[in-house]
A and B are shown apart, each in its own frame.
Chain A
Amino acid sequence: MSTQLTSDQVLALAPDASSASAGKKLGSTKTWKNLGQNSAALWGECQGSALYQVKIDLSTLTTQCSCPSRKFPCKHGLGLLFLAATDAGAIPTAEPPGWVAAWLAKRQAGSARTGNQKQGTEASESSERTQSTQASQAAQAKRVEKRQALVLKGLDSLDLWLNDLVRHGLASAQTQPISFWESRAAQMIDAQAHGIAARVRHLATIPNASRTWPEKLLDELGRLALLTHAYRRSEQLDTLLQEDVRQMIGWTLSQEEVGARGEIVSDDWLILGQTLDEEERVRVQRTWLLGIRSQRQALLLQFSAAGAPFPEMYLLGSHEEADLLFWPSACPQRARFAARRGASIPITEQLPCVETINAFLANISGMLARQPWMERFLCVLRNVTPICIDNGAAWYARDAGGAVLPLTKGEYWQLLALSGGHPVDLAGEWDSETLLPLGVLVDNTYIVLGRTLQ
């Protein structure tokens, strides 16, 4: 098998802890029949309450199982992955049986189709356009115009509300009930400015949360004001920054629009780590990538509502040759896979790092100069020492010169164990205040942190 899976990586693919432990139980040859693998796939039949056929596409680790479970991957899929991780020798190399071959062929045809579509987006779109009636184009333009009016009206009322807040003083904000913020966020949803709504909702969490809350609340209100200011004067901005501002307001881009206006970057991409947040019953997964040659960072965002699985799987701690498609932006960060070409290979070599914390912060300034509303950044530091203070109450990453970044509130014993007080290459997510460690390279092994399920 070209991919050297580890149990930890499989654990990270599990949708929840119970699937992980059920999968682990199934990860033995005893439960499997007709096991096999080739360079493209892994398959087997698992005896549960019925005989289930499990197949795994190795290029994307997409699993498919004939069981009725709605979890994804299901325990059978995880079981087969665990088996591959712990006892790869038990799975013989073979020709795929009919049910696997048919699925693979269908998948390849499917990815070729979407590939062609991507390449020919402009051509097909233009031909579609000529075919489409003038009427529907006009209708489309009218819809956009109507929405634009709605958004502007919404922003006007938001600005009045912001002014009111400042006129009466932020001190009064600390006594406001949550509905004060929520109803304003709801109005922004009605105005079809979802991005603004999310920012307003976030405001509710600031008052009284820290000693410096007035300053933090003022910061966020100020950023909001700058955003509405920028939106109204879009035409004065650089075209790419216009894209950012529109996206931040809530004008989401369709796949076609991203394809047409975004940028493709081919590189060997390191998949360094992942975070998971829950906002309004929607799970938001952020996966951080770094290009070995381009040294560019990429953020893959996936959303899942009501416990649905995330559409794509990423093997953390590996790297692969791929094309990433970046959303149009003055400082491109959000991206998705456009084409995945190579096998995923475990990360074993030095990461492309910045050498000092000050150099990292200087890079951040550069990015903010291009896109001032950015909040989160990938941070990959060379030779930093994790420091634990006051029995684990405070944690820092310290570079050779003694400069430190505070780590996000939490405990990082595994990181400390791996470093042993020696410098390591550390990847993390910088939220402009604290660093959340994602992975660490020690003795030529990249270890993904914080995904240990109990």
Chain B
Amino acid sequence: MNTPDIVTAALVGTAQRDQVDTSTGTPVDALIAQLPEGTPERALLLSAGVWATYRQAGQATGHITETPEPAPAEQLAACPPAVSRLLHGMLLGAHRDVLPEALERLRVAGFRLPFESLPLALNIQPQTMRSSVYPVLGERGLWLSRFNPAWAWVRNHLPAPGTALPPDAETTWQEGTTGQRCEILHHLRAIDPAKARTWLEAAWKQEKAEARLELLETLAIGLSAGDEPFLEKALDDRAPSVKAAVSALLACIPTSTFAARMVNRADDMLTGGRDKLELALPGAYDKAWQRDGITEKPTSSDLGAREWWLIQILARVPLTHWEERFQLTPAELIEAANADESGNSILEGWSRAAQLFDAENWAELLWDWWQQQQQKKKFSGTTTYDMRNELLHRMPPQEAERRVRQVMLYSDFPENSDWDEMLGSLPAPWSDEFGQSYLRVLQQHLASLNPGAGRYHPHHDPWFNSLEVAAIRLPPSCFATALMDWSLPEGENWQAQQWHSQWYEFTETLRARQRFMEEFET
């Protein structure tokens, strides 16, 4: 539309022209003609006012002919209104810790997120929460995500392992972020391991060490002899972290030449017959070891170099090898190793092997051995703690709980002082039995507590610190006990105050979980 004369006249100014044209090209002009005579400025202003109202009143609409396909009908059910309200609150930040459990419960019950919560859910941080959000997005969430580039992660998200790759998978593999590429490779590896390896091999040389390490981890899925040639080449990697990861993968391919090399080396060091175990520590560092990821210098200063080489070699040999070779049970082998003066190194090597080869039966026995060492103060606390924690992950849940429970019951023994950190290694939720004994011992602890006395500091009290984990992992059957009226330390001192506020957080989280569950039952 051309600028109407009236606008031009106003822009330029009436002083610049002899004859001011105030016409608007609308019926307003006829109306204006009836105005009383006045200055040209006033006439222009009044015309403009009428013209403005004329346009405001006569506004015409725009038109959009094509509309996007509406969202398809939902396959999943809408969740009850009370659940919706709780979830929306959690997405806004209330009891955020409970969110993963809540989303999982929603998924299992076959519900989807309420529509009004979808933008919050699609924006969820950290990104690791996305896989919890994805299954409950519903058709509406998938539909909505298409309109906002920030939500493109949904399209690239891979639903369940084993299902077909999304159509643009190869583009994502070529152009995506490391995280997205890992996800694609992870997925492809489950469907077609050889193709995934080919993709990785083609890209391998251009990747940075960090990306190489991350991508390499996907090979653990469906690892087979077919992967050996690539891995054997990759063993020459210059980055020590990548080399170590490659060697671990190769060790897990029983037919690999790497595995055979390691077994041969180990067999030279550990000899003996059915009732005797003889250890010959390597005399010198063999240059050939370097290629296989065995480092010359110990990582810790209180470890001898020769012991260090032994540990690294044993760590890459499956534990079943020793059971077969010496015809001994794991318990007998551990006892035999323990009798040797350098036995600690053998047991550390085996503990690492138990982790790599996921040896459940060994994990339990080895954990017990480490616990004894801790009591005897034979190792520095950190190593013991790390080992115990790692081994806990490799045991069946009830075995792990049984062990942590023992430690918890005798938590005032110095060797058990960091037991609260082991709680994090137990699978969630805890069993009812474990939960109840946790609460029982907690009660005793509270009764004996005198927070105002001496140099008591709540943050150095494992019980105080354990509440955060317990709030998330206690099973529902323990809620009633946990939410009873507990007698907390009283007094004006700040320590007691801290206990009260920590306790408040603990019970609030439990209440949120409880409320969420109750809503599902009704």
Binding site for B on A (CB under 8 A): 6-8, 21, 24, 28, 30, 85-87, 159, 162-164, 166-172, 214-215, 218-227, 229, 357-358, 361, 364-365, 368-369, 372, 385, 387-388, 391-392, 396, 398, 402-406, 413-414, 416-418, 420-422, 432, 442, 447, 452-454
* The one of A30, A163, A357 that contacts B507, using a Cβ cutoff of 8 Å: A30
Q: Are B85 and A6 in contact (CB under 8 A)?
A: yes
B45 — which chain A residues lie within 8 A by C-beta? 162-163, 166, 221-222, 224-225
Q: Are B11 and A169 in contact (CB under 8 A)?
A: yes
* The one of B12, B39, B55, B119 that contacts A413, using a Cβ cutoff of 8 Å: B119
In the bound assembly, the distance between CA atoms of A34 and B515 in angstroms comes to: 22
In the bound assembly, the distance between CA atoms of A24 and B86 in angstroms comes to: 12
* The one of A215, A387, A405 that contacts B68, using a Cβ cutoff of 8 Å: A387
B61 — which chain A residues lie within 8 A by C-beta? 357-358, 361, 403-405
Q: Contacts A404-B61, A414-B119; is A222 near B46 (CB within 8 Å)? A: yes
B56 — which chain A residues lie within 8 A by C-beta? 364, 368, 432
Q: Are B13 and A167 in contact (CB under 8 A)?
A: yes
Could you name 9 residue pairs across A and B whose Cβ atoms are closer than 8 Å?
A30-B508, A87-B515, A159-B42, A169-B12, A365-B58, A402-B64, A421-B67, A447-B116, A454-B93
Q: Are B147 and A388 in contact (CB under 8 A)?
A: yes
Asked if B70 is at the interface (CB within 8 A of a chain A CB), the reply is: yes
Q: Are A166 and B64 in contact (CB under 8 A)?
A: no
A6 — which chain B residues lie within 8 A by C-beta? 85
Q: Contacts A87-B515, A398-B64; is A416 near B11 (CB within 8 Å)? A: no
Interface size class of B (residues with CB under 8 A): 35 or more
In the bound assembly, the distance between CA atoms of A221 and B51 in angstroms comes to: 11
- Within the complex, what minimum Cβ distance (angstroms) separates A333 from chain B? 15
A219 — which chain B residues lie within 8 A by C-beta? 48-49, 51-52, 55
Q: Are B148 and A413 in contact (CB under 8 A)?
A: yes
Asked if B71 is at the interface (CB within 8 A of a chain A CB), the reply is: yes
Q: Contacts A169-B16, A357-B61, A391-B148; is A421 near B508 (CB within 8 Å)? A: no
Contact mask for chain B residues 52-63; partner A; CB cutoff 8 A; 1 contact, 0 none:
110111110111
Asked if B41 is at the interface (CB within 8 A of a chain A CB), the reply is: yes
Q: Are B50 and A417 in contact (CB under 8 A)?
A: no
B515 — which chain A residues lie within 8 A by C-beta? 86-87
Q: Are B115 and A163 in contact (CB under 8 A)?
A: no
Q: Are A396 and B64 in contact (CB under 8 A)?
A: yes
Q: Are A452 and B504 in contact (CB under 8 A)?
A: no
Closest 9 pairs between A and B when the two form their complex, measured CB to CB? A169-B13, A222-B48, A222-B49, A421-B70, A226-B49, A420-B71, A219-B52, A225-B45, A163-B41
A85 — which chain B residues lie within 8 A by C-beta? 85
Contact mask for chain B residues 3-21; partner A; CB cutoff 8 A; 1 contact, 0 none:
1001100111111100000
- Within the complex, what minimum Cβ distance (angstroms) separates B313 from chain A? 55
* The one of A8, A357, A392 that contacts B148, using a Cβ cutoff of 8 Å: A392
A391 — which chain B residues lie within 8 A by C-beta? 147-149
* Other contacts beyond A219-B51, A417-B141: 19, CB < 8 A: A24-B94, A28-B508, A162-B45, A163-B45, A166-B10, A171-B12, A171-B13, A214-B7, A218-B10, A221-B49, A222-B47, A223-B53, A226-B53, A357-B61, A387-B64, A414-B119, A420-B143, A421-B70, A454-B92
A166 — which chain B residues lie within 8 A by C-beta? 10, 13-14, 41, 44-45
In the bound assembly, the distance between CA atoms of A164 and B143 in angstroms comes to: 56
Q: Are B65 and A413 in contact (CB under 8 A)?
A: no
Q: Are A417 and B140 in contact (CB under 8 A)?
A: yes
In the bound assembly, the distance between CA atoms of A214 and B11 in angstroms comes to: 7
In the bound assembly, the distance between CA atoms of A245 and B148 in angstroms comes to: 46
Report the nearest A residue to B51, measured CB to CB: A222
Asked if B222 is at the interface (CB within 8 A of a chain A CB), the reply is: no
Q: Are A421 and B57 in contact (CB under 8 A)?
A: no
Q: Are B52 and A222 in contact (CB under 8 A)?
A: yes
In the bound assembly, the distance between CA atoms of A396 and B61 in angstroms comes to: 11
Q: Are A402 and B65 in contact (CB under 8 A)?
A: yes
A86 — which chain B residues lie within 8 A by C-beta? 85-86, 89, 515
Report the nearest A residue to B60, measured CB to CB: A361
A229 — which chain B residues lie within 8 A by C-beta? 46, 49
In the bound assembly, the distance between CA atoms of A414 and B59 in angstroms comes to: 28
B13 — which chain A residues lie within 8 A by C-beta? 166-172
* The one of B55, B57, B63, B508 that contacts A404, using a Cβ cutoff of 8 Å: B63
In the bound assembly, the distance between CA atoms of A28 and B140 in angstroms comes to: 33
In the bound assembly, the distance between CA atoms of A162 and B68 in angstroms comes to: 48
In the bound assembly, the distance between CA atoms of A369 and B58 in angstroms comes to: 11
Report the nearest B residue to A453, measured CB to CB: B92
Instruction: Find residues 489-522 in chain B having any chain A CB closer than 8 Å to their own CB.
Output: 504, 507-508, 511, 515
- Within the complex, what minimum Cβ distance (angstroms) separates A418 from chain B? 5
Asked if B118 is at the interface (CB within 8 A of a chain A CB), the reply is: yes
